[in-house]
Amino acid sequence: MQTQTKPLIEANRVKKYYPVKGGLLKRTKSYVKAVEDVSLEVMEGETLGVVGESGCGKSTLGRTILGLEDLTDGSVKFRGEEIGGLPERKLKRFKKDMQMIFQDPYASLNPRQRIGEALEEAFIIHTKLNKEEREKRVRSLLVEVGLKEDHAERYPHEFSGGQRQRIGIARAISLNPSLLICDEAVSALDVSVQAQIINLLKSLQESYQLTYLFISHDLGVVRHVCDRVAVMYLGASAELASSEELYKNPLHPYTKALLSAIPRLVPGRKRNRVKLKGDLPSPANYPSGCPFHTRCPIAQEHCKVDKPQWREVEPGHFVACHEV
C-alpha cells in the first residue's frame, strides 16, 4: 500500500445535474441527478477505487473532477487550489497534471490520425519541444508501454484492443501527470490482457509517482489494485474504507449486496447472496430520503424521509446509512 501523505484531490459535496427540457419553449422541467453530494479525498501516491452499478455516476464523477463536465455545485481542489468551475483558459495549467484513461480505447483515438501524431499533440500544446524532440519522446513512450517504435506510423484500426489501451496509457502519461483517472480502463479487455494492463499501470505508478482514481464495476479487480474503495449508489456516496476493511467488514447493505455477487472460484462452497428487490430508480426521479431505501432489505420508515448523514463510524471507514 502506498504511503499516504496529503490530499492530491479534495472533492467536497460535488453535484452534477443535467437539465431535462420540454415543451414548446424548451424550458427546464426537471434535472437528472448524475452525481449527488459526493465527498472524497484522493491521497498522493494512492489508488482510490470507485465502484457501483452501471449508471451510478462513477464516470461522471471522474469527468467532473477532471473538468470535462461542468460542476453544478460543490468544490474540487487540486493540491489545495480550487479548480471546480474554472473556465477552460484557467484550467489549462492544471491539465498537464490530470489525465484520463478512457474505457473505449478505439473511440478515444482519431481513426484518420497516425498513432505518432496523436501522441505528439500533447507536446505541441503544452511544451516547446521541436519536431525531432517530440518524435523521440513519442518513440520512447511507445516502448515504455510495451509497444514498438515503428508503431507510431500505424493507424488505430491496425491494433488490438489491448494495444490500443496501451496507446491510451502512453498518451495519458506523456506529460508526466500527478493524477490518472482510469475510467473502466480494463473492462473492455480479455481477462489475460486485463492482467497485463493492470501490471503495466502498477509499474508506471512506481516509475512516475502516480496517483490513481480507479473507476470500475469489477470488484475483483478493484480489490487487487486499490488501496481504498468508495462505493456509489445512484450518484451518492454509500461507503468508503480501505480495501482490506471494506471487503472484510462491509457496513452498508448495498456494499454487502455488491460483494455477495462476486463469483466464487471454490466449487461447492455456499455463499449468502444478498438479492436486491426492484430496479435501480431513475436519477431523473430521485427518491426522497435515503436513495437506497427503495431496494434496501433493512429499510425503515424514516429511511424514506430522512437523508442519511455521511459519517465516520470507525477510523477511515465512512458510511451513509441510518441503520449502521
For helices 191-208 and 161-173, give the axis angle rounded to 10 degrees.
Answer: 10
Region at 36 (left for phi over 0; alpha for psi -120 to 50; beta for the rest): beta
Long-range Cβ pairs for the range 132-136 (8 Å, 24+)? none
Exposure on the CB side of residue 318, measured as CA atoms within 13 A: 18
Do residues 71 and 64 touch, judged by C-beta distance below 8 A?
Answer: yes
Task: Please give the model's pTM, rounded to 2 decimal places.
Answer: 0.90
DSSP 187: T
Digit-by-digit pLDDT tens for the chain (324 residues) are 444 478 999 999 999 999 998 888 888 888 999 999 999 999 999 999 999 988 899 999 999 999 999 999 999 999 999 998 888 888 888 888 999 998 887 788 899 999 999 999 999 988 899 999 999 999 999 999 999 999 999 999 999 989 999 999 999 999 999 999 999 988 878 888 999 999 999 999 999 999 999 999 888 889 989 999 999 999 999 999 999 999 999 999 999 999 988 776 666 666 677 778 878 888 888 999 999 999 998 999 999 999 999 999 999 999 999 998
Angle in degrees, CA 194, 197, 203, rounded to 5 = 140
Long-range Cβ pairs for the range 127-133 (8 Å, 24+)? 127/175
